[in-house]
Structure 1
Amino acid sequence: MSKKSSSNLYAVIDLGSNSFHMLVVREVNNSLQTVAKVKRKVRLAAGLDAENNLNQAALLRGWDCLSLFAEQLQDIPVENIRIVGTATLRLAKNVAIFLATAEKILAHPVNIISGEQEAALIYKGVAYTSSGQGNRLVVDIGGASTELIIGEQAQAKLLYSFKMGCVTWLNNYFADGKLNQHNFTQAIDAAKAVLNPQLEKYLTIGWNTCIGASGTIQALQEIMVAQGENEQITLTKLHCIQQQAIACGDIENLNIKGLTTDRKPVFTSGLAILTALFESLEINNMFLAGGALREGVIYEMTGLRASHNVRQQTVNSLMVKHQLDLGQAERVKSTALKAFDQLKMTISEDDTQAGPLLAYVSSLHEIGLSIDYKKAPQHAAYIIDNTDMLGFTKAQKQLLSALLINQRDELNLSLLAQQSAISYASALLLCRILRVSYTLALRRTDGTIPEFSLILAEENTLIITLPAQWLAQHPLRAAALASELELQAKHNLVLQVKEK
């Protein structure tokens, strides 16, 4: 008996210059659920000779990888499968030899897309999976090409594919394996020369946020978090990591805290290209994207539309899935945002995401109740830790988890210190706001939350002022506030409750 295929399954295979990827998703209620991800380092671009022909070893690496992917495709409808080839297959003169065997192995056609098509699909993937307001600059450093796109919401405005990548730059400027200032300078200057003809177009349009979508950016974020930094990529951090690399002497001995073994071969060449981008485009900071080319192809296949606010869509979906009390979520959120508005002048200017993240965590504060009341905060943190949340970075999820586990009962401030989405001081303040908001909303009824004012005084003293006689008239919440005062005092945090 033949197995019936699932029409709600979709697969995309990305034949990249450095790695081959397969992504399989299931469409559920107008959203996508990842069911399989497979990645293999093929380093196809490393197999290009001086005449741009792929050597036999590279061809075999590619075909061996596709043999692994082929089995998964057997149970997915033909119309739900896309296989795309990028920069190296665009360059290879003997691409027909590769394709003939590849298509036989996969039993599906391979579409070699242009650089512009690749850039457009990358932007689509970012638009569906990453947050950001206004113009966004999207950067994707591949093995043999680098795509730069400026767009707003789901619409790309300017896109270009540059003929440089981490594998080709490795071969051109780090072929001797040496990590020294000379090799880095040559690689950076060469990347700037490639960028220069298109530079003015990007600078003229401008952007509000910059998002990176590649293994190089993923590796950099892992390094920064491992080294106790926040997840923001800046030029200063790039220069620092470059010096760490130079101190290692050569690629074979590259040992940077946070850099995984599989990323080592092409990391320094990708770092050089990214440094050139930061310096040429005067990029202030960059964040990691939630998706790129593969996600763009998937969303194009499914026809799903991008949300104007990816993170809010994710939160709304979780609230429905876990059957949260929408009224109570709104009461706690509105109370928390009112408190935040009174205290926002004490928040660091760098912590621009503090307010939005407080809104999201307030909406989700009861998500743990879907498992059990007694340990609801711990359950809530577990759910967030183990849920794929489109639009949220890894560090932002870590902050949400830390806030949720600290929403009531005993405090565990070490979790707030471990996250890197915002400063510890800001995270601590959000935690205290959430706890007070939770307490004030205990009645779970509209119109029962009192008017209040909050002041953050010196030495972590938080002063809340309530209406006259309110504490006497509301003994349950008065007792809860008294208990909260004691819980915070255990950590040298002063909570003063006053009445007008």
Structure 2
Amino acid sequence: MVNSSLQDDLYAVIDLGSNSFHMLIAKTVAGSLQTMGRVKRKVRLAAGLDGSMQLSQEAMERGWECLALFAERLQDIPASQVRIVATATLRLATNADVFKERAEQILGHPIKVISGEVEAKTIYQGVAHTSACSGKQLVIDIGGASTEIVIGEGQQAIHYTSLHMGCVTYLEHYFKDGLLSDSNYDNAIKAAKQILQPIIALYRETGWDYAAGASGTVQAIQEIMVAQRQDETLTLDKLLDIRQLTTQYISIEQLQLPGLSEERRLVFVSGLAILIAIFESLQVSAMGLAGGALREGVLYSMVPQLQRQDIRQRTIDSFITRYHLDSRQGERVACIAKLLLAQLSQPWQLSEAEHGLLTAAAMLHEVGLLIEYKQYPKHGAYIITNTDMPGFTKQQHDLVAKLVRFHKGDVLARDFESLGAHEKLATQLVRLLRLAVILSMRRKNDVLPELVIKEHNNALTLYIDKQWLDAHPLMLSELQQESLYQRKAGWKLTISN
């Protein structure tokens, strides 16, 4: 008998990790996936492995107790839309079958223990489906008992490996005494470098254009850096500075860094040691935070209609459908914004990726109209800030929200200070977006004359045919008002002919 209460648009992924168990619930909405729930429980399964790779009864009990909570949420989801995967600890445990048999009884679904290589490739798919990276991408995921390292391009993983080192197992081996000593750090880093040695030459030779961390360790480091008012890009110098900050405390128990959550504190230093070893061994210059990982990779594999290459366009299309945007007007604004930006790309030294951020803001600038007109830029920024945007990093997501927030009306240079390293870029893009919105105000095609914009010492001059301006007094008035807005912000804008 078919269960009529099943929700056909819901999907569930459970990841039985070595440090935590995660459950992700999502539904298909307007050509995209919307997260409906996330549940995470710290199980530290890897801490239950003894010298003979036997999983302790106590660790198994912790896992089963967690899965009993997850089981309740799975009852309304079709079985074909549920995936449960297990990783390093259950690959290593000699009595994994004991745990797995009882776990499957609790969940009512089969559990697939995936190989390290499959885990690495799936993690890469999770990153590829949630981020837009042109060129090769290095992806790092430090788990509880294994670390996956992948180089890929587009949707394809090129090199992928799973290494036997993780934040839980390294905590047990190298920080077992709980002390934050240089010797503990040095021993952990040395051990990680030895494990990394076989892949160093291949990965360095292949190279990459962008590095992304898909683990809690990278997220925790970013949160610490934000608390210190630094930008969110990880570098070796920043990692070493954080290591130095931690050694000011005697023990992990006493560790209290601004931005470091209590939940992450116990395994933070062991994860940091592994990450330092990776940066030094592979000569990683900079790293950002990935938007997805294993769970997202498994999730997207269940939804064939989302296997599109252009992730950013999929995200923008989803916004257009969900929030009833006028896509033709968005395209007009984007077209004019790109026309202006093309003339300034050389003096402002902007890349194609940065062009894409301006296009996204142009397409989404009216999203707040769904709420009401008077404060729609403010409403739009709120909607964007609080909606997942696959294909955009957190910094890019924040930048697009800022552009939408200040695409018209009062604006001050300090409004963009929270963007850190992206502050200058945001001020450049918002000046052009504001002009494009004004120049599109008639909401019609083919009504504009030739537009020429020039920059000198950060001052902009927009040249428009005088006869056309005389025939469009409202447009002229709006452009003159915009010149005053930009002057108030400390930017110079001249309208000339």
Q: TM-score, normalised by structure 2?
A: 0.95
Counterpart for residue 426 of structure 2: 427
Counterpart for residue 11 of structure 2: 10
Counterpart for residue 277 of structure 1: 278
8 Å contact kept, 2:412–2:488: no
8 Å contact kept, 2:31–2:306: no
Counterpart for residue 451 of structure 1: 450
Q: Where in structure 2 are there 5+ consecutive unaligned residues?
A: none
Q: Which amino acid aligns with 2:61?
A: L
What is the CA-CA distance between 1:203 and the residue it aligns to? 2.0
8 Å contact kept, 1:145–1:164: yes
Counterpart for residue 437 of structure 2: 438
8 Å contact kept, 2:122–2:293: yes
What is the CA-CA distance between 1:196 and the residue it aligns to? 0.6
**Distance across 1 between alignment mates of 2:390 and 2:357:** 14
CA RMSD of aligned residues (A): 2.0
What is the CA-CA distance between 1:353 and the residue it aligns to? 4.3
Matches within 5 A, 1:54-453: 54-347=55-348, 353-420=353-420, 422-453=421-452
What is the DSSP-based 3-state SS (H/G/I as helix, E as strand, rest coil) of the residue aligned with 2:149? strand
**Distance across 2 between alignment mates of 1:120 and 1:490:** 51
**Distance across 2 between alignment mates of 1:161 and 1:219:** 22
Counterpart for residue 43 of structure 1: 44
Give identity over the alignment, percent.
48
What is the DSSP-based 3-state SS (H/G/I as helix, E as strand, rest coil) of the residue aligned with 1:418? helix
8 Å contact kept, 1:233–1:287: yes
What is the CA-CA distance between 1:307 and the residue it aligns to? 2.5
1:47-78 Cα distance to aligned partner (Å, 9 max, x none): 11222212222112111111110101111222
8 Å contact kept, 2:32–2:314: no
Q: Which amino acid aligns with 2:160?
A: L
What is the DSSP-based 3-state SS (H/G/I as helix, E as strand, rest coil) of the residue aligned with 2:319? helix
8 Å contact kept, 1:136–1:150: yes
Over 3 Å counting, the alpha-carbon distance change for 1:302 and 1:473 in structure 2 is closer
Q: Which amino acid aligns with 2:357?
A: L
What is the CA-CA distance between 1:346 and the residue it aligns to? 4.4
Counterpart for residue 490 of structure 1: 488
1:65-94 Cα distance to aligned partner (Å, 9 max, x none): 111101011112222222111101111122
1:381-425 Cα distance to aligned partner (Å, 9 max, x none): 1110121111222222221111111111111544311124x4322
What is the DSSP-based 3-state SS (H/G/I as helix, E as strand, rest coil) of the residue aligned with 1:424? helix
What is the CA-CA distance between 1:352 and the residue it aligns to? 7.3
What is the DSSP-based 3-state SS (H/G/I as helix, E as strand, rest coil) of the residue aligned with 1:419? helix
8 Å contact kept, 1:406–1:412: no
1:336-381 Cα distance to aligned partner (Å, 9 max, x none): 12222222344467x8743221111011111122222221111111
What is the CA-CA distance between 1:305 and the residue it aligns to? 4.5
Q: TM-score, normalised by structure 1?
A: 0.94
1:170-213 Cα distance to aligned partner (Å, 9 max, x none): 11111122223222222112111101112222222222221211
**Distance across 2 between alignment mates of 1:429 and 1:45:** 49
**Distance across 1 between alignment mates of 2:100 and 2:425:** 54
**Distance across 2 between alignment mates of 1:80 and 1:324:** 31
**Distance across 2 between alignment mates of 1:74 and 1:223:** 39
What is the CA-CA distance between 1:466 and the residue it aligns to? 2.1
**Distance across 1 between alignment mates of 2:428 and 2:333:** 16
8 Å contact kept, 1:245–1:254: yes
What is the CA-CA distance between 1:30 and the residue it aligns to? 4.3
What is the CA-CA distance between 1:143 and the residue it aligns to? 0.4
8 Å contact kept, 2:31–2:317: no
What is the DSSP-based 3-state SS (H/G/I as helix, E as strand, rest coil) of the residue aligned with 2:302? helix
Over 3 Å counting, the alpha-carbon distance change for 1:41 and 1:256 in structure 2 is same
What is the CA-CA distance between 1:105 and the residue it aligns to? 1.3
**Distance across 2 between alignment mates of 1:7 and 1:66:** 23
**Distance across 2 between alignment mates of 1:185 and 1:338:** 54
8 Å contact kept, 2:12–2:299: yes
8 Å contact kept, 1:138–1:212: yes
Q: Where in structure 1 are there 5+ consecutive unaligned residues?
A: none
8 Å contact kept, 1:416–1:427: yes
8 Å contact kept, 2:486–2:493: yes
**Distance across 2 between alignment mates of 1:249 and 1:311:** 46
What is the DSSP-based 3-state SS (H/G/I as helix, E as strand, rest coil) of the residue aligned with 2:248? helix
8 Å contact kept, 1:127–1:306: no
8 Å contact kept, 1:154–1:306: no
Over 3 Å counting, the alpha-carbon distance change for 1:247 and 1:198 in structure 2 is same
